[in-house]
């Protein structure tokens, strides 16, 4: 870049115009560099905002597209996430409707952890499964947690994004009525992420993960957040297990 600019200046002093193609390449490269710097600056501001958060509440919608639909369910519901406990376990609570892969049946689950004990309440069987072992959540313990954004209470939020090999600023977008910056992060050859960061509070409102399979086909997971509310103080009450009246409690692992 520096050599190209120097060459252009020298040609100008000699009264010789640089080829139009070189001018355009230099201009495009300079614009790309400026956009990348702006995108990184937005992520830095987002990290600073996230570092103030100790607790977040939001409504979430999660889904996969193309070939990824064979691996992830569709999920929607309400979520509360809090900073990790002394055992470094993120506190969370989510009340979700989950459509299992290859099924049209909608399951209603409440899952969470108070930073020590994990639990899942199966509203179909009216059973609350609870234990210190996260495996108590059953054969698909990860599914309800797909809507839990640990970034809100991470010790070093957006570190992976800020250290990514490429960061690009894309066109502005709107998520649930919230005006957002759109930033494309390239983590490696097979994975990218689109982060939609609010222009108002610098906090994320949508995260789209882009993956390539062995055939080079792209698929995404998309998580959208609305009605986001954050707090600089932690309240542990929302994460405690509350067994509904008429439900049984068991330390047996959920199916």
pLDDT at 72 over 50: yes
pLDDT of residue 5: 42
The structure tokens listed for 76 are 């929607």
Pairing outcome for strands 178-186 and 107-113: unpaired
pLDDT at 12 over 70: no
- Residue of 33 and 157 predicted with greater confidence: 157
| pLDDT (average), residues 218-234 | 97
| pLDDT (average), residues 29-52 | 88
pLDDT confidence of 238, banded at 50, 70, 90?
very high
Pairing outcome for strands 166-175 and 127-131: unpaired
Using DSSP's 3-state secondary structure scheme, residue 153 falls into helix
Which residue pairs from 29-33 have beta carbons closer than 8 angstroms and sit at least 24 positions apart in sequence? 29/1, 30/1, 32/168, 33/1
Give the distance from CA 188 to its chain's centroid: 17
Least confident range from 27-41, 54-68, 123-137, 158-172: namely 27-41
* pLDDT tens for each residue of 114-168: 999 999 999 999 999 999 999 999 877 679 999 999 999 999 999 999 999 899 9
- Report the C-alpha gap between 99 and 122 in whole angstroms: 14
| Token pair 């882009």: residue | 210
State pTM to two decimals. Answer: 0.85
- Report the C-alpha gap between 37 and 149 in whole angstroms: 26
The structure tokens listed for 228 are 């986001």
pLDDT at 215 over 70: yes
The CA–CA distances, whole Å, from 179 to 57, 175, 217, 254 equal 19, 7, 30, 41
**Backbone dihedral region of 77: left (phi > 0), alpha (psi from -120 to 50 degrees) or beta?**
left
Residue 93: closest CA among 226, 242, 208 = 242
The structure tokens listed for 189 are 């050859």
- Residue of 255 and 4 predicted with greater confidence: 255
| pLDDT (average), residues 77-85 | 97
Q: What is the share, in percent, of the chain residues with pLDDT greater than 90?
A: 78
Q: Whole-number mean pLDDT of the chain?
A: 89
């Amino acid at each position: 870049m520096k050599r190209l600019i120097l060459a252009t200046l020298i040609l100008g002093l000699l009264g010789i115009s640089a080829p139009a193609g070189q001018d355009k390449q230099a201009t495009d490269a300079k614009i790309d560099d400026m956009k990348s710097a702006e995108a990184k600056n937005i992520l830095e501001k987002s990290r600073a905002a996230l570092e103030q958060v100790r607790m977040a509440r939001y409504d979430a919608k999660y889904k996969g597209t193309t070939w990824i639909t064979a691996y992830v369910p569709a999920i929607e519901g309400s979520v509360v996430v809090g900073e990790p406990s002394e055992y470094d376990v993120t506190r969370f609570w989510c009340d979700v409707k989950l459509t299992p892969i290859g099924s049209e049946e909608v399951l209603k689950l409440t899952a969470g952890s108070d930073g020590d004990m994990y639990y899942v309440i199966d509203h179909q069987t009216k059973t609350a499964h609870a234990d210190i072992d996260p495996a108590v959540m059953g054969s698909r313990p990860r599914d309800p947690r797909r809507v839990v954004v640990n970034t809100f209470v991470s010790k070093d939020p957006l570190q992976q994004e800020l250290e990514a090999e490429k960061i690009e600023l894309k066109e502005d977008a709107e998520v649930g009525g919230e005006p957002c910056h759109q930033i494309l992060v390239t983590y490696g050859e097979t994975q990218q992420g689109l982060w939609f960061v609010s222009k108002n509070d610098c906090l994320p409102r949508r995260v789209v993960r882009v993956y390539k399979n062995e055939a080079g086909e792209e698929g995404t997971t998309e998580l959208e957040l609305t009605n986001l509310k954050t707090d600089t103080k932690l309240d542990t009450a929302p994460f405690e297990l509350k067994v509904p009246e008429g439900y049984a409690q068991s330390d047996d692992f959920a199916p």
